[in-house]
Structure 1
Amino acid sequence: MSETVPTPPSPTTRRQLLARTGAAGIGIAFSGALSELFTGTAAAGNLGHGGYGPLVPDPDGLLDLPKGFRYRVLSREGDPLRSGEGPVPSNHDGMAAFAGRHGRVHLVRNHENRATGRVPVPVIEGLTYDPEGKGGCTALTLDHRGSVLSERVAIAGTAVNCAGGPTPWDTWLTCEETEDKAGTNGYTKDHGFIFEVDGADPRRTGAVPLTAMGRFQHEAIAVDPKRGVVYETEDAFDRPFGLFYRFLPRKPLGGTGSLRAGGRLQAMRVPGVPDLSSIRETGARFDGIEWVDVPDPLAAGTPIRFQDFGPRGITHAQKLEGCYWGGRSVYFVSSYARSSEGSAGDHYGQIWRYDPDRRRLTLVIVFGPDTDVRLPGESPDNICLAPGGGLMVCEDGGGAQHVYGVTRRGEVYAVARNRQNVGTPEDPEWGEFAGVAFSPDGDTMYVNCYAPGTTFAVTGPWRG
């Protein structure tokens, strides 16, 4: 995410320039088979043109929202953890919300800290994988009114915890977006794994790497609730770019330990397509998708994306990030592709759908450049389904940063804008959003500002 995205070329630079000059004008290129994206009972198109209306400037300079919405700051980096374990860590990233007893909500939040993270996750006995790792997760428990009851370390000693995903048995799979081995950056253990975290009782899951799920630059996961298959994205920063994986666990469903029993890691091969960025037409469909066993999931000698997958190779894609399960399919995001960086084509964001029953891959969304920095429309990252059937997307591009919604009619509308300027008045810069998620009852949207690390709870007249 923010610490790892390479310097953008001219399209984003243009957005930054427009931010300084105040130029206006809309030019969002957006197309796709939108009906495939929404699985809620209410049609997102019922929102009408413009979603919830224009954003209202926040007098406190934190978060702009539409009229009728309000936010509460749940947590900010540097403030004391309510557990007394130390300060709230920095670099707030992926997150999920889980139902607790008596109307409570458990939030599990990633901290994408590297070896030099501003505020590391405190080392806690019994919850620490590598004492030299600065990343990890914290867990917040909210009461039925949305007030914070507790905030504590959920796992420590991991590295670059970017995104992840929830499981059907109400745990969080946190993903390390690194391939650093022991001895690199001071680490005492190999990194690049997935860890399971129970937000209600972190000591139940501890700090055990799920090694069979692979060691690579993980981004996000999604679980097929019927089969228990776990899909994984890889956000590799150099060529050859990342792969899209599936993990076939020996014990497909269940509680703690089901993923620790091991399984098979496979990578997706789209016959005849070595690079997904070469596909530009929405609705493009590929049948007969193949899954190839990964030769060495632990990448002991060679990173997985460099390994030998046979004479027909394997399918790569730049910036594979968000991943979620909807209906009977898994959806995954490519935030952008740039031929100047080695991709086969250029785009400002794709959303792909894989249907395991039909072994079919379809390109359902293509985002395009936004010519006004005040408007959303490029570099989709974390993504989730809203309770009413809409799609909520965290923007990770240049200029202003938004959480934006997408309706079935192809309307892109802003839900929130980050007002925390981490640059200067002359050269403003705003941290990305991450970890968008909804409460189990659908009444509250939770979202993180990456820097300065801030967790918001947003309430208002959500439809559906």
Structure 2
Amino acid sequence: MERRSFLARGAVVTGAALTATAGPFQGLVAAHADTARTGRGGPRPGPGFGALAPTPDRTDGQVRLHLPKGFAYRSLGVAGEPMSDGVPTPSRHDGMAAFRGQRGGTVLIRNHEVPGVAPAFGNPSDAYDPSCGGGTTTLTLDRRGNLVDQRVSINGTMMNCSGGPMPWGSWVTCEEAVDGPDVVPAFPGQDNSKLTRKHGYIFEVPLYGRARREPIRNAGRFQHESVAFDPVSGAVFLTEDNFVAPCGFYRYVPPVHPLRAGRLLDGGRLQMLAVRGRPNAPLQLGQPRGATYEVDWVDITDPDPAHAPGTSWFTASSAVANQGIARGAALFSRLEGSTYRHGTVYFCSTQGGAAAPGDELPPVPFPRFGEGRGQVWAYDILRRRLRLVYESPHSQVLDLPDNIAVSPNGTLILCEDGDGDNYLRGLTQKGEIFDISRMVTPAGDADAEFAGATFSPDGDTLFVNMQSVIGRTFAISGPWDRC
């Protein structure tokens, strides 16, 4: 069952707010009033951009995206097409990063968020768990953007949602799952007894060659979504996407600085963010204008808990977060994409914020944690200061932001994961929300969404995925220097 289909079926924080300080996105207002100036899908041009218009895919002439004038795109790495190693391209394209390749080319490492129990793509003898259909593929493009190689880089993992690039030349991929032979699945019809390994970890995937298939267990077993690396401290910041319970914002401190080790080592310390002086601060709720908080970090004593056979998914999915909450950690709703820039980690709370009257999320048959249309947060690593960058006032303005990227000029790029039409939105440092692209929903796949936005090393191309049954990667060119 697709996550959004499952979701579709179914007090203001005070006291700890602090005076804001100067910096990128400083002074943006929560629920910015002037961003709701048009209806959904109406022209909302960004800085120098015009209204969106149907734009044919240069690969085959089909209209899959609406873009401003001056932008063009083409598809590559389409699900089902044979890769260079003979393996059919997996579906459900998700998080992704672009790296500088050889001779001016680009290397993309791309997640495939295949859920549940399914045969591993590629060679099952190479798989972490042959009963899981998730993993990553690596695409090599030449200096002109032509796809010259595509192959499996890790297989046999589950629900590879997002992750994060590492500056030594690797991608850390995240399992948004806690399934295993010890856990009873959340959804009927899935047989976890077929699984051979525990899931819910992060894995490092090198730029070239195959991954080691060794989970970083001390970085936690939970619904991992994304990671962001701080090259100064060597810490890795992690988000958690649990749609039924409070989520945490974590940091993993490896035993050796990764820039010295040349890779991410297991055996470090996992911690969870807490608002100083306010235990269990409910940050999933609507925030006051310019909300800023000083924070501390609380230790997670058992990051890889052993579950007794027959443990329910709902219990297992909260086992790590509940340790932090018991020590006063802050509460978020569905933390998803994250990105690092100049000492700050930006991350999305997909269902955070206050619900606008008449714009409530659809009812669901379980307790849902978070009723808003999305928040964007910024964590200043040096100052240990958390700040609300933006809170959606209405789904017509921003609807459930998921993956996030940052342009060379500092504009945040937000991938929506809402119902109906999904957009790529831009959020400028002046607080302007604007439309970059609208996806034409594929026939028969209403759950399709944007995912994995990432800029090429030269900043001239935005790569982004259509997460769909027939997933594909778009390479979008245009005047990105104005973004």
Normalising by structure 1, we get a TM-score of 0.83
Match of 1:406 among 427, 438, 448: 427
Quick check: 1:2–1:432 contact (8 Å CA) kept in 2? no
Is 2:335 the counterpart of 1:329? no
Q: Which amino acid is 1:110 matched to? A: N
Which residues of 2 match residues 226-305 of structure 1 at below 5 A? Answer: 226-239=232-245, 241-254=246-259, 258-270=263-275, 271-272=277-278, 274=280, 275-287=282-294, 289-301=295-307, 303-305=318-320
How far apart are residue 103 of structure 1 and its match? 0.5
Question: 1:314 — aligned with what?
Answer: 329
How far apart are residue 56 of structure 1 and its match? 1.7
Q: Which amino acid is 2:475 matched to? A: A
How far apart are residue 398 of structure 1 and its match? 1.2
- Distance, in Å, in 1 between the alignment partners of 2:432 and 2:21 is 13
Q: Per the alignment, do residues 34 and 124 of structure 1 end up closer, same or farther by CA in structure 2, a change over 3 Å counting?
A: farther
Question: 1:449 — aligned with what?
Answer: 466
Question: 1:458 — aligned with what?
Answer: 476
- Distance, in Å, in 2 between the alignment partners of 1:6 and 1:153 is 30
Quick check: 1:218–1:233 contact (8 Å CA) kept in 2? yes
Question: 1:36 — aligned with what?
Answer: 24
Question: 2:7 — aligned with what?
Answer: 7
Superposed CA deviations along residues 306-348 of structure 1, whole A, max 9, x for unmatched, are 5444865322211110111121221221011479775676421
Q: Per the alignment, do residues 347 and 309 of structure 1 end up closer, same or farther by CA in structure 2, a change over 3 Å counting?
A: closer
Give the 3-state SS of the residue equivalent to 1:278 in structure 2.
coil
Quick check: 1:193–1:209 contact (8 Å CA) kept in 2? yes
Quick check: 1:51–1:405 contact (8 Å CA) kept in 2? no
Question: 1:191 — aligned with what?
Answer: 199
Which residues of 2 match residues 37-56 of structure 1 at below 5 A? Answer: 37=25, 49=46, 51-56=48-53
Aligned length, in residue pairs? 420
- Distance, in Å, in 2 between the alignment partners of 1:189 and 1:412 is 43
Question: 1:75 — aligned with what?
Answer: 77
Identity of counterpart residues, as a percentage? 40
Name structure 2 gaps, 5 residues minimum.
11-19, 27-43, 57-61, 183-191, 308-315, 356-360
- Distance, in Å, in 2 between the alignment partners of 1:5 and 1:198 is 34
- Distance, in Å, in 2 between the alignment partners of 1:323 and 1:310 is 21
Normalising by structure 2, we get a TM-score of 0.80
- Distance, in Å, in 2 between the alignment partners of 1:152 and 1:34 is 45
Quick check: 2:4–2:447 contact (8 Å CA) kept in 1? no
Which residues of 2 match residues 17-416 of structure 1 at below 5 A? Answer: 36-37=24-25, 49=46, 51-59=48-56, 60-84=62-86, 86-115=87-116, 121-123=121-123, 125-126=125-126, 128-182=127-181, 184=192, 186-202=194-210, 205-239=211-245, 241-254=246-259, 258-270=263-275, 271-272=277-278, 274=280, 275-287=282-294, 289-301=295-307, 303-305=318-320, 307-309=322-324, 312-337=327-352, 346-371=371-396, 377-416=398-437
Quick check: 2:98–2:108 contact (8 Å CA) kept in 1? yes
- Distance, in Å, in 2 between the alignment partners of 1:355 and 1:231 is 12
Question: 1:17 — aligned with what?
Answer: none
Name structure 1 gaps, 5 residues minimum.
11-31, 39-46
Give the 3-state SS of the residue equivalent to 1:58 in structure 2.
strand
Q: Per the alignment, do residues 54 and 9 of structure 1 end up closer, same or farther by CA in structure 2, a change over 3 Å counting?
A: farther
Q: Which amino acid is 1:362 matched to? A: R
Superposed CA deviations along residues 178-230 of structure 1, whole A, max 9, x for unmatched, are 0012352621000000000013222xx42111111111100011011111100
Give the 3-state SS of the residue equivalent to 1:254 in structure 2.
helix
